[in-house]
């Protein structure tokens, strides 16, 4: 069935995977270039603790899962610019499914009988009675039921063999692109040349006459591969990923720690136009200039609100600038005005934090399940007044979040995780001295 001998040119997954480095174009994902496969992980995603192939394979599949969850197909084209069109159209899940099916079941071989309506042939009376309306012949009381068409078994040897060859073609194509993820199995090449129009027609015809869900799923993934290849001028290159991983980073943090109805905390503006009875209300989602990445709430003795800004920056080389700091304070002040009419709520219950990625070191004493660490805080010089009148949100605390831990657990959240992050911010704010220093501390 397949050549089980090792393919000597097959690279080690440890050589395929690139950890801890930012690419010039900021790409995160999988790139195939004329036989060379590379997998680029985001900054802060640490290398596995052991060199077992399965560890690297798990990392790659996890990366694919995370990128898929935050692609334009998942979140809507208008909501972000996560994965560009050329990248996201690469049907990597179809490639993985087709090769997995081959490893588990071998090549697809048609065993189901195919039926058609015809005047003659080997009649299946059960299907004929259910699917064909009979005609009534003769006059009462000598009426009789007559079938003018029958459901007959179709001889489809050539078509069945072609389906098998199309599967062989898709399996080999998947092996060429991502085969190193699955071991040493080198499949046979199909004997039929690539013909997108013919392959698509045969697959769609078979899907219309197949009721086996497992086979339907296989055919759909084969169809995705064929359609993708048919639209590509250069099939020697393929990629699945994003040049804007910061949107993935924001999405991960929002899903894990954020509330769903954070739009109630969005500041809005209205233009008043001279000599015009109407006002322009800038309240639509697309026109809202200030939108917090994540709002986290903790309800204990009283509600505490945490405004989290996810920054995909390389600490300590890059830190959020003045504009980001001022926006965090503006969010907090707006929320404070929203809470004035609520008993026991005040600005003392609002906190600000930046969340930056990092790779937690093995053996380091990190207490939280998401491996969180404080590194410092930022504040504005002109807001330094009486320390007793200062609001907690006027300091924006820096938190490092281990990338591997959050990507492996996406998008799970729990009250325990939220409480751990809240404690990192709240407890740190209670021990920090009054200072205007913006320097990070370890």
Q: How many Cβ atoms sit within 10 Å of the Cβ of residue 423?
A: 14
- Tell me what pLDDT residue 149 has: 77
Instruction: Give the pairing of strands 150-154 and 279-282.
Output: unpaired
State how far the Cα of 383 lies from the Cα of 329, in Å rounded to an integer.
10
Is the pLDDT at 387 greater than 50? The verdict is: yes
Find the distance separating the first CA and the last CA of the chain, reported in whole Å.
Answer: 58
pLDDT for 135-159, tens place per residue? Answer: 777 676 667 776 667 666 665 556 6
Q: What angle do CA 162, 163, 164 make, to 5 degrees?
A: 90
Question: Domains of the chain: which residue ranges?
Answer: 13-110+159-242, 114-154, 245-431
- Tell me what pLDDT residue 84 has: 45
Averaging pLDDT over each range in 78-92, 322-336, 351-365, which range is the top one? 322-336
Instruction: Give the pairing of strands 303-310 and 350-358.
Output: parallel
Is the pLDDT at 176 greater than 80? The verdict is: yes
Question: pLDDT class for 281, splitting at 50, 70, 90?
Answer: low
Question: pLDDT class for 325, splitting at 50, 70, 90?
Answer: very high
State how far the Cα of 20 lies from the Cα of 57, in Å rounded to an integer.
17
Is the pLDDT at 165 greater than 90? The verdict is: yes
User: Rounded mean pLDDT of 398-418?
Assistant: 87
Q: Is the dihedral of CA 376, 438, 395, 325 positive or negative?
A: negative
User: Rounded mean pLDDT of 289-302?
Assistant: 78
- Tell me what pLDDT residue 163 has: 92
Is the pLDDT at 357 greater than 50? The verdict is: yes
pLDDT for 178-202, tens place per residue? Answer: 888 877 668 889 999 999 999 999 9
Token pair for residue 318? 């890059």
Name the more confident of 53 and 71: 53
- Tell me what pLDDT residue 88 has: 43
Computed over every residue of the chain, the mean pLDDT equals 79
Q: How many Cβ atoms sit within 10 Å of the Cβ of residue 316?
A: 16
Between 245-257 and 415-431, two packed helices, what is the crossing angle to 10 degrees? 100
Question: pLDDT class for 70, splitting at 50, 70, 90?
Answer: confident
SS3 percent helix, strand, coil of the chain, rounded to 5, is: 40, 20, 40
- Tell me what pLDDT residue 436 has: 40
Token pair for residue 212? 């086996």
Tell me whether the omega of the peptide bond preceding residue 141 falls within 30 degrees of 0, making it cis: yes
- Tell me what pLDDT residue 397 has: 95
pLDDT for 13-49, tens place per residue? Answer: 999 999 976 667 788 999 888 878 899 999 999 999 8
| Residue 115 burial (C-beta neighbours within 10 Å; 0-12, 13-18, 19+) | buried
- Tell me what pLDDT residue 199 has: 95
State how far the Cα of 123 lies from the Cα of 127, in Å rounded to an integer.
9
Residue entry with tokens 């009875």: 277
Token pair for residue 242? 């994003």
């Amino acid at each position: 069935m397949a050549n089980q001998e090792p393919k000597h040119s097959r690279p080690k997954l440890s050589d395929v995977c690139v950890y801890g480095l930012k690419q010039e174009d900021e790409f995160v994902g999988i790139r195939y270039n004329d036989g060379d496969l590379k997998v680029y992980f985001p900054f802060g995603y640490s290398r596995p603790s052991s060199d077992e192939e399965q560890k690297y394979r798990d990392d790659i599949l996890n990366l694919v899962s995370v990128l898929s969850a935050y692609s334009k197909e998942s979140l809507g084209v208008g909501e972000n610019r996560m994965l560009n069109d050329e990248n996201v159209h690469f049907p990597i899940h179809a490639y993985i499914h087709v090769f997995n099916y081959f490893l588990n079941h071998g090549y697809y071989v048609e065993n189901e009988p195919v039926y058609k309506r015809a005047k003659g042939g080997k009649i299946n009376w059960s299907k004929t009675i259910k699917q064909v309306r009979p005609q009534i012949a003769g006059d009462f009381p000598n009426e009789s039921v007559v079938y003018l068409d029958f459901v007959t078994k179709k001889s489809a040897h050539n078509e069945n063999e072609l389906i098998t060859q199309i599967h062989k073609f898709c399996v080999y194509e998947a092996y060429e692109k991502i085969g190193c993820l699955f071991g040493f199995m080198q499949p046979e090449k199909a004997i039929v040349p690539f013909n997108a129009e013919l392959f698509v027609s045969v697959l769609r015809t078979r899907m219309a006459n197949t009721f086996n869900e497992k086979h339907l799923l296989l055919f759909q993934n084969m169809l995705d591969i064929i359609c993708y290849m048919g639209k590509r001028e250069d099939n020697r290159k393929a990629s699945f990923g994003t040049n804007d991983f910061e949107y993935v980073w924001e999405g991960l943090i929002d899903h894990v720690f954020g509330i769903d109805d954070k739009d109630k905390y969005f500041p809005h503006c209205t233009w008043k136009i001279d000599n015009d009875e109407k006002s322009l209300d800038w309240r639509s989602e697309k026109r809202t200039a200030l939108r917090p990445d994540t709002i986290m709430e903790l309800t204990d003795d009283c509600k505490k609100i945490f405004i989290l800004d996810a920054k995909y920056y390389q600490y300590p080389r890059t830190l959020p600038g003045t504009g980001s700091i001022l926006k965090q304070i503006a969010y907090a002040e707006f929320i404070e005005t929203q809470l004035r009419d609520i008993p026991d709520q005040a600005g003392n219950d609002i906190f600000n934090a930046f969340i930056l990625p990092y790779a937690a070191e093995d053996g380091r004493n990190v207490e939280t399940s998401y491996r969180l660490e404080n590194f410092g805080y930022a504040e504005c010089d002109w807001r330094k007044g009486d320390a007793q009148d200062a609001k907690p949100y006027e300091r924006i605390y820096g938190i490092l979040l281990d990338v591997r831990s959050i990507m492996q657990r996406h998008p799970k959240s729990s009250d325990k995780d939220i409480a751990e992050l809240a404690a990192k911010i709240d407890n740190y704010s209670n021990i920090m001295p009054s200072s205007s220093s913006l320097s990070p501390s370890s």
